[in-house]
Amino acid sequence: MLRFEPDGHRYYWNGVRVPSVTSILAPLTDYSRMPRAVMDRARQEGEHIHKMIELYLANNLDEKTLPDWLRPRLVAFRKFQVQTGFRCEASERAVYHVAHQYAGRLDLVGELGGQLAVIDIKRSLFAGAVIGLQLAAYQEAENDGRKRASQEKTKLRYALQLRDDATYRLEPYTEHTDFAVFLAFLTAHKWRQQHESAD
């Protein structure tokens, strides 16, 4: 059984803490030159955007309460839905890979262009190619669960950037080595944890 604790962003599988996709890939993204205040604001805005889309898809969003800066992002998401025909199957789903023992929370799973896709909602695409590794990790964990449930696997990976000018950018990630690279960082992460705990 997978359990998520929002405080500290921790995941547990059957009571044992497991690493998250975000923590595994953290060494790849350098935010050291970015002022702390800017970082905090970006993180908070990202959290608000994700929560807004989650509530919207659950038909539980009171749009009258949205601050002005969030409204264009919702318009952008609606445009994405209309222009691509995206049909959401699940949002904010916690996933776990049994064999590789890591967890994460993917933003969207649904049908896009006749195929199942995993989509990560982004405030910006600053992380670049690291997003491909992140999406590969989410997709493989999602498909691990689908395999055990005898469900069709997802085939596509996208980042969906919702912009403040009410437009969106849908970026595909197709590099076939992404998951292998992610697993290398997972191995390094586990090695580091073992040696830190031994000290």
CATH of the domain at 119: 3.90.320
User: From CA 161, how far away is CA 92, in angstroms rounded?
Assistant: 16
Count of positions (residues) in the chain: 199
- 39 Cβ neighbours under 8 A, 6+ residues apart: 31
Tokens 């539980």 -> residue: 60
CB 85 within 8 A of CB 112: yes
What's residue 47's pLDDT?
93
Distance linking the first and last C-alpha atoms of the chain: 30
C-alpha distances out from residue 48 to 52, 103, 107, Å: 6, 22, 13
Coil, strand or helix: which one is 16? strand
**Token pair listed for 171:** 């970026």
Nearest CA-CA partner of 157 in 176, 180, 144? 176
Phi then psi for residue 175, to 5 deg, are: -65, 120
Range of the domain at 73: 2-198
What's residue 29's pLDDT?
81
What's residue 142's pLDDT?
98
What's residue 118's pLDDT?
98
Nearest CA-CA partner of 54 in 73, 37, 41? 73
pTM of the model: 0.92
Question: Average pLDDT of each block of 10 consecutive residues along the chain (199 residues)?
Answer: 87 95 90 79 91 97 96 98 97 96 96 97 92 98 96 97 97 98 97 77
Counted domains in the chain: 1
C-alpha distances out from residue 157 to 1, 7, 18, 25, 38, Å: 26, 28, 24, 17, 28
Phi then psi for residue 174, to 5 deg, are: -125, 0
Nearest CA-CA partner of 6 in 127, 131, 122, 105? 105
DSSP character at residue 90? E
